[in-house]
Amino acid sequence: MVLAQLGGSISRALAQMSNATVIDEKVLNDCLNEISRALLQADVQFKMVRDMQANIKRIVNLEALAAGTNKRRIMQQAVFTELCNMLDPGKPSFTPKKGKPSVVMFVGLQGSGKTTTCSKYAYYHQKKGFKPALVCADTFRAGAFDQLKQNATKAKIPFYGSYMESDPVKIAVEGVERFKKENCDLIIVDTSGRHKQEAALFEEMRQVSEATKPDLVIFVMDSSIGQAAFDQAQAFKQSVSVGAVIITKMDGHAKGGGALSAVAATKSPVIFIGTGEHIDDFEVFDVKPFVSRLLGMGDWSGFMDKIHEVIPTDQQPDLLQKLSEGSFSLRLMYEQFQNLLKMGPIGQAKIKRYMTMMDSMTDAELDSTNPKLMTESRIIRIARGSGRPVRDVMDMLEEYKRLAKIWGKMKGLKLQKKGDMSALTRNMNVQQMSKALPPQMLKQIGGMGGLQSLMKQMGSKEMSGMFGGMGG
Ligand SMILES: Nc1nc2c(ncn2[C@@H]2O[C@H](COP(=O)(O)OP(=O)(O)OP(=O)(O)O)[C@@H](O)[C@H]2O)c(=O)[nH]1
C-alpha cells in the first residue's frame, strides 16, 4: 500500500527538520513543502494540501519550535492534527440499531466494489447480531444480481432481486417492503455503478433514494481512483445525501490519498475499508489510529534497541527499504529461513517443514503483509498442498506473526547510511541474538548457554549473517 510510503516520506521530512541546528522560517517551509509533495504524490487534492500547509503554519509557533527540545514532536503533532481533521468531517455517520429497521443504500462508480462491499457490510452486521438483507437494484450490469445472490447465499443472508424487471426503483421498493415485513433490521440496497457524466443514471439513483428513503447512503470508492476522487464524490453528494464513505481495495497498490479527498467532498466520514476480495476482508475505519500508523507514531521507543537486535552487520539496503515501508512478508521470512538452513543442522526439520508449507502458497500470499489474507480456506488448501496438518500451517503463521511484530517496528524507519548501521550492530551480543531467534529454535540450540557456545564455535560473524540476504 503506497500510503505506507506517504507515512515514510512525512517521517523523513520531519526527521530532516529536527536534525537542523537552527529552526527558522526556511527550515519550516522546506519541511512543509516536503510533506506537501508527499501528500500530492499520494493523490491528495491540491487545494486540501495547500490548506493543510497554511493551517500547520498557523498552529506551529516558530519560536517554540526553535527553542523546543522536541521539535520533531511539535511538528509531528501538528501534522497529525491536520491529517485527522482532513479525515474527520466532525460529525459521526448514522449507525444502524439492532431491532429497528434501517435502510442503507450503496452508491458509487462502476467497479468500485459496491456489490462486494454490500455483502461485507451485511456479513459484518450479521456477526454483530443484526438481521440483514440484501436488495439488488442494479439492473444495469448483467450479472450483478447473480453476484449478490452468490455472496448472500454463501453468508446465509436473505436477498431480493429480479432477472426480468428493469426498473431499479420498483425492485428497490419491493425488496425494502418485503424485508421490513420479515423484520429485518438492516436492509441494504445495492445500486448500479455510474459516472458523474451519466446524467440519466444519476437521476435514476436519485429516484431510488427518494422511493426507499434510506437512513444512510454510503458512497463506495476504490482507493486507486486518485485525483478524480473529489469531483466524483461531490457529484454523488449533490444527487443523494451521502452520509458515509467506504474505501475499497486498500490491500492493493493504491495511493489512497483520494480517501482524504472523498471525505472533504462528501463531508462524511470513512466508516470501513475493504482490504481484499473475501467477505471478511473488511475493517472498521478509525481516524486516529489510522493517521498515527501512517505517521509511524506511537512506537518509537525501544526502536533503536530493535535495530541492535535484528539487523546484521553486513548491510541490507533492500531489506531496510522494505521494512521502512512496513512490508515484512512471508517471502522475507522464507528467505530468512533459507539463510538459517545454510548454517547447519540447527532446527532444520522445523524450518524445512515451514518452507514446504510455504512452497504451497501463492505469490500473493507470500508477498502479502496482511495476516488476515490467510483465511480458513487458504490454510486448508496449503495444508493439503504440502501434506501437513492444518495445525502445522497455523503454527507457521503464528511464527510469521511473531517475527512480523519484531520487524514491524522498523516501519517508517529513516534509512541509515552504511557506516551508521554497522556501528549500530557491531555490539550485537548473545542476549540480543537470543531475542531475535524463534523461541523454539533457541530451545533446540540449548538455550542461552547453547547459543553462547555456538556463537563461539561459529564466530559471531556467521551468526549475525543468519539474517543476511533477506533483502534478496
Ligand atoms: N482486492 C480487492 N478487491 C476488491 C475489494 N472490493 C471489491 N473488490 C473487487 O473489485 C471488483 C469489482 O467489485 P464489484 O463488487 O463487482 O464492483 P461494483 O461496484 O458492484 O461494480 P458495478 O456494479 O459494475 O458498479 C471485484 O473483482 C471484487 O472482487 C477489495 O477491498 N480488495
Would the pLDDT of 457 be above 60? no
Grid coordinates representing 470?
533477506
Span from the CA of 303 to the centroid of ligand 1 (angstroms) = 38
Q: For residue 369, what pLDDT is reported?
A: 83
Report pLDDT digits (tens) over 312-336.
434 345 555 665 566 667 776 666 6
**Ligand 1, atom 26: closest residue by C-alpha:** 113
**Ligand 1, atom 10: closest residue by C-alpha:** 113
Give the residue, out of 136, 277, 281, with the most ligand 1 atoms within 8 A of its beta carbon, to mutate for a pocket test: 277
Span from the CA of 248 to the centroid of ligand 1 (angstroms) = 8
Span from the CA of 112 to the centroid of ligand 1 (angstroms) = 6
- CA–CA distance from 316 to each of 343, 346, 455 (Å)? 19, 24, 21
Counting atoms of ligand 1 from 1, which one is nearest the CA of 276? 32
Q: From CA 114, how far away is CA 457, in angstroms rounded?
A: 60
**Ligand 1, atom 14: closest residue by C-alpha:** 113
Q: How far is CA 152 from the centre of its chain?
A: 25
- Output the pTM of the full model: 0.63
Report pLDDT digits (tens) over 43-87.
778 888 898 899 888 888 777 666 665 666 777 778 888 888 888
Report residue 462: phi and psi, to 5°. Answer: -65, -35
Would the pLDDT of 426 be above 50? no
Residues pairing with 107 in the sheet? 219
Would the pLDDT of 453 be above 70? no
Span from the CA of 114 to the centroid of ligand 1 (angstroms) = 6
Give the residue, out of 115, 116, 247, 273, with the most ligand 1 atoms within 8 A of its beta carbon, to mutate for a pocket test: 116
Q: For residue 328, what pLDDT is reported?
A: 64
Would the pLDDT of 355 be above 70? yes
Say what angle helices 71-87 and 2-19 make with each other, to 10 degrees: 150
- CA–CA distance from 439 to each of 260, 340, 344, 443 (Å)? 42, 14, 18, 6
Would the pLDDT of 468 be above 50? no
Q: Is 191 within 8 Å of 205 (Cβ atoms)?
A: yes
Report pLDDT digits (tens) over 242-293.
999 999 988 766 666 677 778 878 889 999 989 889 998 898 888 876 776 6
Span from the CA of 225 to the centroid of ligand 1 (angstroms) = 13
Given the cut 0.90, state whether the ipTM is greater than it. yes
Q: In order of start, what are the domains of the chain with their CATH numbers?
A: 2-87 (1.20.120.140), 102-286 (3.40.50.300), 303-467 (1.10.260.30)
Span from the CA of 305 to the centroid of ligand 1 (angstroms) = 42
Which residues, judged by CB distance below 6 Å to any ligand atom, belong to the binding site of ligand 1?
Answer: 108, 110-116, 138, 141, 144, 147, 192-193, 248-249, 251-252, 274-277, 281
Q: For residue 225, what pLDDT is reported?
A: 80
Span from the CA of 111 to the centroid of ligand 1 (angstroms) = 5
> CA angle 456-316-421, nearest 5°?
70
Give the residue, out of 248, 251, 362, 370, with the most ligand 1 atoms within 8 A of its beta carbon, to mutate for a pocket test: 248
Span from the CA of 404 to the centroid of ligand 1 (angstroms) = 29
Q: For residue 416, what pLDDT is reported?
A: 42
Span from the CA of 141 to the centroid of ligand 1 (angstroms) = 13
Q: From CA 122, how far away is CA 188, in angstroms rounded?
A: 7
Counting atoms of ligand 1 from 1, which one is nearest the CA of 118? 15
Q: How far is CA 272 from the centre of its chain?
A: 11
Q: From CA 195, how far away is CA 235, in angstroms rounded?
A: 9
Counting atoms of ligand 1 from 1, which one is nearest the CA of 193? 25
Span from the CA of 113 to the centroid of ligand 1 (angstroms) = 3
